[in-house]
Structure 1
């Protein structure tokens, strides 16, 4: 693998007159939840050379210099006719300005919301913009007749896909991507990308599942050979499987019995990032999210989402000491529509003050709403710690709704099967993990040795567990095995509910393992583990890990075990 700090541009022809330029970074580019696996990313751009020259999605300023150098080396950039933007991100402004200096004749092709964002990103710049309002076409010559398909969602209201009839390539921008960096351009052996693609979907698409389904319906009429994605490997070999997976995942989200309306506006992207982390926590707990960007949503859409939700969460930046107008409008709709039986939540980001957050919280408390978590106030950019806090807050919010709705069936006598399954005995352990500035732990009894060579084990982790997000392939954790007769104190400590962001190890004696995770000083033994892979299994993830190190701390003690009477609950 290239040096971890290295950035480069990988250039490769992928079809007739068509080239991909993959700007690559092997490091996490910024603190956002969709990058949390820290496997780097690629910013994929494409160039079609018909009678006219069209460039898709130039990358952000992180790559501006090396990207332009790669373009100049291979193409006549000064002859560029079109720059097609699947969505307009402000961090692309530097690259777009540099392109305009070389080719001032460029016509930008984008959706109507994209045109608004583009003018905001490039103020005081004379721009030629072809605004796509529907499924319009653009003929580049040599058979490259482009069909544009708007596929907006709350996170990316300007989202635009493009289909080339000549090559049967669908340029999907955010859809079907993954944040992973490597030398592989296409997705041969595509199963190895499943984890990354699912994580990407869960972070970016799940809160917008209704719009994703609508987009899939629009795209289904096109015969496609290749998805030219905005990030990660291009999709050639898993076209059918990934498309069906997106539809299945979206349908699962859209049919959840309990839903949360997540309303927000975001001036600089920070509040949207917090919203993504909260949504991730909610969906982990098996509750649906209807994400609404109040800056582009109609009042009727906001009202409908609130009416069908069991709870609502609203987030806002603070601009000039106030909440932006769309948030004030949304607040008015909430106060006139939501009932006091609906659970509430407030979050937001700010620079020097947080009046908008205080306004939202004060108005909702005065109106008598119950809060599902303590109001989240984040100054400046979120960090890994604050994103983890938001995720845990979302999970707590969802679990509170499930308890209120009594989703779990009342306890009834166990069936024969449940009684039999319940008599599978497991060792009582505490799983601990510490990565960067984030630490977590959970009590576990579904732990089992799985392989001799290499020495490996499996851990079943409920999807809503906070530690779950620290147990992806390549991550490390420790299994702390508890001693019989001395386990009750630790068991009670790690069984208690923790508030979002609360330190799990307060009052617990620990040491640091070689892999950085906490070792409980009172454990019988500990095993240092590295996650090899994991499998989705109903309401749990089955994590397979390799034992890399370990030690017996109490040679005269026996292992504490967990006896159950039913296999329907812990």
Structure 2
């Protein structure tokens, strides 16, 4: 049973690692893969909490059979019905046809829509309880973290919170399952990249969920992706609290689009002047080379944000426009914002950046730098002033 890991008191990790999928949700790169975590509680009655993606059905069902021998699970708890956690449900029900499927009413509606499963439903409401024997499960509805049906399951005896997608992250579990078994610094950036790209849009609902769960004595956090937090669950709760408040660290992210290098010269000038002003955390991204998910990750982390683009067909560089649209959708907040751009025979880039600032109620730091064709000494002086003013606001 090498693929089954005991967590505590008859609670087991029965998840799988996905080392082949290249894009999560067909959008976000998975350079280090991802885990789909499922859990089993072996008691007088047996409960399985969430399933896995349909690509891993065989190994997943084998994990359950290895754990239970000839017994069958009694309940399948669905905290989150997104297909990376529910894809195995139909095969699960075929293997265990008497299973009782537990979820809230919104879950059941989606269960029917996705999988046409209309029987054996156990509909639960907020704070309802199921008694397995030694273990009692109670349910906490946390809508829009990050789907409308999401909920969390709390096991009272062990203080384990099965949290669905909340408190999770990208990256496979390479032997170690628990936060105290792995180098957690290896996972830090991928956990934040997961939050900022998948959950971040719903930060106000994350705050509501954290507040709602504050009266629980949480000893272990078992999410559907990433490590199980048994040594220091307070750490991941604290991280989610900060990220959902959009609290930032001191530093600047610069993102630019440049076709022929003239806009990049502005970037180099601003970055150098930021450094001479004492800013040590400076991240510079060419929008044409780096996937937006990595850029968004650092934008969520650092307070300073400087965006620049060449003009393209009387508008902004298309890949920069894509980033702006995602940031607008996520309602990105709490930044010191600077903008710059370039044009040759027609403007357009800077006006789109100014529109972005207006849409999110930012007041860009002066000056806005806009060059024609190639930067002059006067333009470089404006770059230095912009860097100085951004640095000053960060220091304040």
Q: Shorter-normalised TM-score: what interval?
A: 0.5 to 0.7
- 1:157 is the counterpart of 2:157: no
User: 1:79: Cα distance to partner?
Assistant: 2.0
Q: CA deviation at 1:236?
A: 2.6
**Does the 8 A contact of 1:33 with 1:203 survive in 2?**
no
Unpaired segments of 5 or more residues in structure 1? 1-7, 256-283, 286-391, 397-428, 433-440, 451-457, 474-493, 505-537, 541-559
Show the counterpart of 1:118.
111
Q: Secondary structure at the match of 1:246?
A: helix
Cα distance change of structure 1 residues 470 and 34 upon mapping to structure 2, 3 Å threshold: closer
Structure with the bigger percentage of strand? 1
Please give the per-residue CA displacement for 1:36-87, whole angstroms capped at 9, x wherever unaligned.
2532000000000111011111102110011112222332465210000111
TM-score (norm 2): 0.66
Q: Considering only aligned residues, what root-mean-square deviation do their CA atoms show, in Å?
A: 4.0
CA distance, structure 1, for counterparts of residue 153 and residue 20 of structure 2:
29
Please state whether the residue corresponding to 2:192 is helix, strand or coil.
Answer: helix
From 120, 125, 128, give the equivalent of 1:133.
125
Is 1:217 aligned to residue 211 of structure 2? yes
Partners in 2 of 1:192 and 1:459 — Cα distance?
Answer: 19
1:234 and 2:228 equivalent? Answer: yes
Structure with the greater alpha carbon radius of gyration: 1
| SS of equivalent residue, structure 2 residue 88 | helix
- Judged with a 3 Å threshold, the aligned counterparts in structure 2 of structure 1 residues 30 and 464 are, in CA distance, closer, same or farther, namely closer
- Provide the secondary structure at the position in 1 that maps to 2:318: coil
Residue of 167, 170, 173 corresponding to 1:179: 170
CA distance in 1 between counterparts of 2:63 and 2:290 reads 40
Distance change in 2, residues 1:502/1:99 (3 Å) = closer
Name 1:243's counterpart in structure 2: 237
Partner of 1:10: helix, strand, or coil? coil
CA contact (8 A) 2:52 2:88 kept: yes
- Name 2:55's counterpart in structure 1: 62
Taking a change above 3 Å as real, the CA distance of residues 38 and 192 of structure 1, as seen in their structure-2 partners, is: closer
2:283 is matched with which residue: 454, 461, 470?
A: 461
Partner of 2:327: none
Q: Deviations over 1:345-392 (max 9, x none)?
A: xxxxxxxxxxxxxxxxxxxxxxxxxxxxxxxxxxxxxxxxxxxxxxx9
Q: Which structure has the highest helix share of the two? A: 2
Deviations 1:486-526 (A, max 9, x none): xxxxxxxx86245353599xxxxxxxxxxxxxxxxxxxxxx
Cα offset, 1:35, TM superposition: 3.5
Structure 2 residue corresponding to 1:496, chosen from 310, 326, 331: 310
Shift of the 25–107 alpha-carbon distance from structure 1 to 2, 3 Å rule, reads same
Q: 1:210 to 1:36 in 2, by over 3 A?
A: same
Whether contact under 8 Å (2:40, 2:48) holds in the other structure is yes
Match of 2:65 in 1: 72
Residues 34/199 of structure 1: CA separation in 2 closer, same or farther (3 Å cut): farther
SS of structure 1 residue aligned to 2:138? strand
- Residue by residue over 1:97-132, the C-alpha shift from the partner in whole angstroms, topping out at 9 and shown as x without a partner, is 222223211100111110111112222x45211111
Once the 2 structures are TM-superposed, how far is the Cα of residue 20 of structure 1 from its aligned partner? 0.2
What is the alpha-carbon distance in structure 1 between the residues aligned to residue 309 and residue 110 of structure 2? 48
The runs of 5 or more residues in structure 2 that have no matched partner are 296-307, 322-334, 338-376, 392-396
Is 2:389 the partner of 1:568? yes
C-alpha distance in 2 between matches for 1:467 and 1:59: 32
Distance 1:136 1:194, change over 3 A: same
CA pair 110-500 structure 1, distance change in 2 beyond 3 A: farther
Distance in 1 (CA, whole Å) between partners of 2:72 and 2:241 is 40
Tell me the secondary structure at the aligned position of residue 568 of structure 1: helix
Paired residue secondary structure (2:168): coil
- Distance (whole Å) between structure 2 residues aligned to residue 225 and residue 502 of structure 1: 44
Task: Indicate yes or no: 2:53 matched with 1:53.
Answer: no
Match of residue 406 from structure 1:
none
Look up the SS of the partner of 2:200 in the other structure: helix
The answer to whether the 8 A contact 1:206-1:250 is kept is: yes
Q: Per-residue deviation at 1:13?
A: 0.3
Contact 2:140 2:152 in 1 (8 A): yes
1:119-156 deviation line (CA, Å, top 9, x unaligned) = 12222x452111112210110002x0111101010741
Q: Mark the CA change 1:471 to 1:117 in structure 2 (over 3 Å): closer, same or farther.
A: closer
Q: How many angstroms does 1:96 deviate by?
A: 1.8
How far has the Cα of 1:465 moved from its partner? 6.3
For residue 388 of structure 1, what is the aligned residue in structure 2? none
8 Å contact from structure 2 (residues 41, 47) kept in 1:
yes
Name the CA shift for 1:137/1:466 in 2 (closer, same or farther; >3 Å). farther
State whether structure 2 residue 89 is matched by structure 1 residue 101: no
1:173-322 alignment to 2 at 5 Å? 173-181=164-172, 182-188=174-180, 189-252=183-246
Q: For residue 38 of structure 2, give the secondary structure of its aligned residue in structure 1.
A: strand
Per-residue deviation, 1:29: 4.8
